[in-house]
Amino acid sequence: MKIRTKVIGMGLMLVVVTALSIVGIAIDQVHILDVAIHGELERFIRSETQKVAENVYLMCRSVQQQQDEELERNLQVAARLLRDGGGLSFSREEVLWQAVNQFDHSRKAVRLPMVSVGGSWLGMDSDPHRRMPVVDTVQNLLGVTCTLFQRINEQGDMLRVATTILDNDGRRALGSYIPHRNPDGRFNPVIDALLRGQPYTGSSFVVNDWYVTRYEPLFDPTGKKLVGALFVGYLQKSLAGLRSAIQDISVGRTGYVSILGSQGGQRGKLLIAPRKEQSQEPGIAATDRQSLLITQRLLQKASRMVRGGGSGKIPVTFEHFVERDTGNGKFRDKLVAVTYFEPWDWVIVAGAYKDDYGDIQKGFDASLSRATFLIFLVALGIVLFSLLAGFYLSRGIVRPLEKAILLFDCIGKGRLDHHLKLDRKDEIGQLAKAFNRMIDNLREVTASRNELNREIIERSRVEMELRATSAQRRELETIVNHSPAMALLWRLGETWTLEFVSDNISQFGYKAQDFVSRAVPMTDLVPADDLDRLAAGLDACIKQGQEDRFSMECRVIKHSGEICWVDARLWLRRDENGTVTHLQGVLLDVSDRKKVEEQVRMLAFYDALTGLPNRALFINRLEQSLAQATRDGRLLALMYLDLDHFKAINDTFGHAAGDTVLQSSAQRINSCLRRNDTVARLGGDELVVLLPGLDGPEQAETVAQKIIKVMSAPFQLESFQVSVTPSIGIVLFPEHGNVMGELLKRADIALYAAKEGGRNRYALFCPEMEQSSKIVGVRLHGRAARPLEPTQSNGPAEGNV
């Protein structure tokens, strides 16, 4: 190919590349602009839906504040009427109620004192046409429902003894009660507030529907004990004005606002729907699987919302999904803003369809397409113009180069006495001058050839020295790689990069190259919390400034996933400015020593024969359980357990058989306990059981019965079957004592009461046992000083052989 063609082609290629670059950049910018427009439109839709959701939230809050003020005034009037009517009183005579749980409609019989107002019994007549004092007066005067409650039990269950609320049969909901726990197991917020002596205002379930309510606690004459409650409220769905205003709101052209229930019986129900969906079944938010999944996602996001501190900002979250249009069956992209109005348990959903804003997007797309086409036409014109200009400009370049080529051929033959004579002021003239200088320099280079040879010899000597140094380094690496300690070099930083690690890292299942090439991150070798301790030790070493080394024990994760312990001995490495840049040192595997230490710890706290906790561990757990029971206000049971006539088994069958019985007994007793209970061996055949977190003494008695039952099965000793029975003494904290020593002493008394009662039974401590001369005088006389020391029964062997 001739140079003329190359010059024209090179120029054309540069122009084409430039034109294509301009077109490519333009197309890329158009794409970026298109994406930005889409993003801006998305933000606009988000802003619109967020404003609508916040406005609906503010509307609800305004109505709620007004209703709360009205409810508070109504409750004050109801309380005044109750006081003026003579107040609430209870007689000694009791009546039997068939109390009905308002959630699951389960029944239970309760006997409660008769409730009177002004000395007149309220009665149990549920006929709504017969007048009932106070509650009917409140409803007639104020137009709200009213209820008087009587407390059932210590848990706070509240029974309706007078009410204007009707059940599904159209009768007064007398005998229905609010349980202290909801069906989902959580505490009822109404009962929780009343037990704390505080009024409750908000949305709550009442008999068979949701109400906006206010509850006021009622106390006995001392003002300390909660005896009942006074209630006023109105149906939540009676907010006609607010419902109509929400239904009239539109987002975009076809978007709308809907209200969902969040908790309890109204969870997932459509409480307020747009007017165009009024034909649908009220209260149903979704019927198909996809809509149900969308509704669940919206409820989950609403449940995680928390109002932000004192800023007053309304929390809003967003959800994007595809929804089928009920009119034409087409799928439409929808963006919704979700917020949660907690006082009424409302999930506010403001949704907009993206195709409502499609005209704006189409206009932008058309403008961008026109701009792209114009840029392409301009680039094509530039290419054609450059092709013509390159043809004419190449003529002035090619002719002088043809003359220069002839001279280059002469110089290539060794004739260095020629010069290129071109008298031009452009680049070709400069090229001729440069070529002439090259000829002169070439003569000088030939003269300095000997000097160049001497430099080559010197360089060869330096290379030999470097090879010798490399051999010494390889020998040192061989020594390090065959030692039990692994050597490493860390570069400090956020990633803890390993710049060097010895090959004996293979003892942990890794290859050195895995870390140096960063194929395996440092966090795969050392757990994150140990890296934090390493960083803390490094900081402390730098701040103290005494020694540039420190040591610690940390864990290492092997390639197989197994955890092992290493002893790390590390040194700091500083640069010329004294700044710590690297950490170098060795890691020695000490896993075997750690295992021995763990075995020593097990021997110190567990019985070697049965594997049960020993005396030291049991006392530690008892102290912790007593402290926890004091904080929680719950019961704790302690059982002293002794195997009846166990000494006879040792004497008859030998100590090996006795050990077998002890081990089997420990397994049987363990099978009767919960995960957080403890059974420990104090010595000999004496065992002790710790039962924390009880609600009543019957739970401890149930466990004792289980132990007696499982111990009734005979034990197999070679070809013999031996029956072993337990005697159990039980004490309760704090009923039978507040101090550990006192509890242990009384458990011991109860144990011997069980033995005196005939063995193979349990006995729950009572003060009369301590007064019994037969028990106290015999048992405590020999053991009062050390109630935890092991003893063995001296009675005859019991059971069938």
Q: Report whether 768 contacts 762 (CB < 8 A).
A: no
Q: For 645-673, how does the pLDDT look when each residue is reduced to its tens digit (9 = 90+)?
A: 888 888 888 888 889 999 999 999 999 99
Q: How confident is the model at residue 797 (pLDDT cuts 50, 70, 90)?
A: very low
The pLDDT value given to residue 588: 84
The answer to whether residues 217 and 89 belong to one domain is yes
The answer to whether residues 258 and 120 belong to one domain is no
Residue 737 tokens, joined: 């004592």
The answer to whether residues 636 and 775 belong to one domain is yes
Question: Final residue of a domain: which of 532, 561, 595?
Answer: 595
DSSP string for residues in 576-600? TTS-EEEEEEEEEE-HHHHHHHHHH
Distance CA 506, CA 198 (A): 67
Distance CA 267, CA 282 (A): 14
If you ran DSSP here, which 8-state letter would residue 780 be given? I
Report how far apart, in Å, the C-alpha atoms of 568 and of each of 530, 551, 587 are: 12, 5, 5
Q: Report whether 686 contacts 642 (CB < 8 A).
A: yes
Q: φ and ψ at 338, to 5 degrees?
A: -120, 135
The answer to whether residues 656 and 669 belong to one domain is yes
Q: Judge whether 396 lies within some domain.
A: no
The answer to whether residues 512 and 627 belong to one domain is no
Compute the average pLDDT of residues 564-587.
84
The pLDDT value given to residue 586: 85
Compute the average pLDDT of residues 679-707.
93
Distance CA 241, CA 780 (A): 79
Residue 112 tokens, joined: 């409660």
The pLDDT value given to residue 668: 94
The answer to whether residues 703 and 634 belong to one domain is yes
What's the number of CA atoms in the CB half-sphere (13 Å) around residue 148?
26
User: Please, which residues have CB within 8 angstroms of residue 63's CB and are 6 or more apart in sequence?
Assistant: 239, 241, 242
The pLDDT value given to residue 568: 84
Report how far apart, in Å, the C-alpha atoms of 236 and of each of 60, 204, 210, 261, 272 are: 12, 9, 6, 11, 11
Q: How confident is the model at residue 776 (pLDDT cuts 50, 70, 90)?
A: very low
Distance CA 78, CA 163 (A): 12
User: Please, which residues have CB within 8 angstroms of residue 473's CB and are 6 or more apart in sequence?
Assistant: none
Q: Judge whether 23 lies within some domain.
A: no
Q: Judge whether 524 lies within some domain.
A: yes
The answer to whether residues 165 and 296 belong to one domain is no
Distance CA 298, CA 301 (A): 5
User: Please, which residues have CB within 8 angstroms of residue 267's CB and are 6 or more apart in sequence?
Assistant: 261, 299
The answer to whether residues 519 and 635 belong to one domain is no
Domain count, the chain: 4
Share of the chain above pLDDT 70, in %: 85
Domain of 749 in residue numbering reads as 606-783
Q: Report whether 554 contacts 563 (CB < 8 A).
A: no
Q: How confident is the model at residue 1 (pLDDT cuts 50, 70, 90)?
A: low
User: Please, which residues have CB within 8 angstroms of residue 287's CB and are 6 or more apart in sequence?
Assistant: none
Distance CA 739, CA 734 (A): 9
Distance CA 286, CA 261 (A): 12
Q: Judge whether 570 lies within some domain.
A: yes
Alpha helices, H only, 570-696: 591-605, 615-632, 646-653, 655-670
Query: Above 50 in pLDDT, residue 778?
Result: no
Residue 162 tokens, joined: 């007078």
Q: Which of 77-86, 169-178, 226-235, 382-391 has the lowest mean pLDDT?
A: 382-391
Query: Above 50 in pLDDT, residue 391?
Result: yes
Report how far apart, in Å, the C-alpha atoms of 719 and of each of 280, 638, 657, 715, 716 are: 78, 36, 12, 10, 7
Query: Above 80 in pLDDT, residue 571?
Result: yes
Q: What is the pTM of this model?
A: 0.39
Q: Judge whether 352 lies within some domain.
A: yes
Q: How confident is the model at residue 191 (pLDDT cuts 50, 70, 90)?
A: very high
Query: Above 90 in pLDDT, residue 693?
Result: yes
DSSP string for residues in 167-217? -TTSSB-TTEEE-SB-TTSSBPHHHHHHHTT--EEEEEEETTEEEEEEEEE
Q: How confident is the model at residue 799 (pLDDT cuts 50, 70, 90)?
A: very low
Residues in the chain: 801
- Phi/psi region, residue 278 (left: phi>0; alpha: psi -120 to 50; beta: rest), is alpha
Q: How confident is the model at residue 42 (pLDDT cuts 50, 70, 90)?
A: confident
Instruction: Assign 606 to helix, strand or coil.
Output: strand
Chain mean pLDDT for the chain: 81
The pLDDT value given to residue 643: 92
Compute the average pLDDT of residues 529-553.
80
The answer to whether residues 630 and 778 belong to one domain is yes
The pLDDT value given to residue 312: 67
Residue 539 tokens, joined: 């900081």
DSSP string for residues in 412-476? HTT-TT-------SSHHHHHHHHHHHHHHHHHHHHHTHHHHHHHHHHHHHHHHHHHHHHHHHHHH
Q: Judge whether 421 lies within some domain.
A: no
Q: Which CATH number fits the domain that encloses residue 777? A: 3.30.70.270
Q: Judge whether 773 lies within some domain.
A: yes
Q: Which residue would you say has higher pLDDT here, 654 or 485?
A: 654
Q: For 277-327, how does the pLDDT look when each residue is reduced to its tens digit (9 = 90+)?
A: 543 334 444 556 777 788 888 888 877 775 544 456 888 888 888 877 766
Q: Judge whether 427 lies within some domain.
A: no
Q: How confident is the model at residue 240 (pLDDT cuts 50, 70, 90)?
A: low
Question: Final residue of a domain: which of 217, 237, 257?
Answer: 237
Q: Report whether 509 contacts 564 (CB < 8 A).
A: no
Q: For 158-173, how does the pLDDT look when each residue is reduced to its tens digit (9 = 90+)?
A: 999 999 999 888 899 9
Question: Final residue of a domain: which of 541, 570, 595?
Answer: 595
If you ran DSSP here, which 8-state letter would residue 676 be given? T
The answer to whether residues 215 and 252 belong to one domain is no
Q: For 492-505, how does the pLDDT look when each residue is reduced to its tens digit (9 = 90+)?
A: 776 667 778 888 88
The answer to whether residues 778 and 637 belong to one domain is yes
Q: How confident is the model at residue 449 (pLDDT cuts 50, 70, 90)?
A: low
DSSP string for residues in 482-548? TSSSEEEEEEPSSS-EEEEE-GGGGGGT--HHHHHTTSS-GGGTS-HHHHHHHHHHHHHHHHH-S-S
Q: Which CATH number fits the domain that encloses residue 277? A: 3.30.450.20
Q: For 54-99, how does the pLDDT look when each residue is reduced to its tens digit (9 = 90+)?
A: 888 888 888 778 777 888 888 888 888 888 888 888 888 999 999 9
Compute the average pLDDT of residues 12-34.
77
Q: Which residue would you say has higher pLDDT here, 23 or 558?
A: 558
Compute the average pLDDT of residues 682-702.
92
**Closest by Cα among 668, 685, 721 to 609:** 685
The answer to whether residues 487 and 549 belong to one domain is yes
Distance CA 780, CA 784 (A): 5
E-assigned strands of 685-786? 686-694, 715-717, 720-722, 726-733, 761-764
> What angle, 0 to 180 degrees and rounded to 10, lies between the N-to-C axes of helices 740-756 and 615-632?
110
The pLDDT value given to residue 681: 92
In sequence order, the β-bridge partners of residue 89 are 116
Q: φ and ψ at 93, to 5 degrees?
A: -70, 140
Q: Which of 151-160, 162-171, 187-196, 455-464 has the lowest mean pLDDT?
A: 455-464
Q: How confident is the model at residue 177 (pLDDT cuts 50, 70, 90)?
A: very high
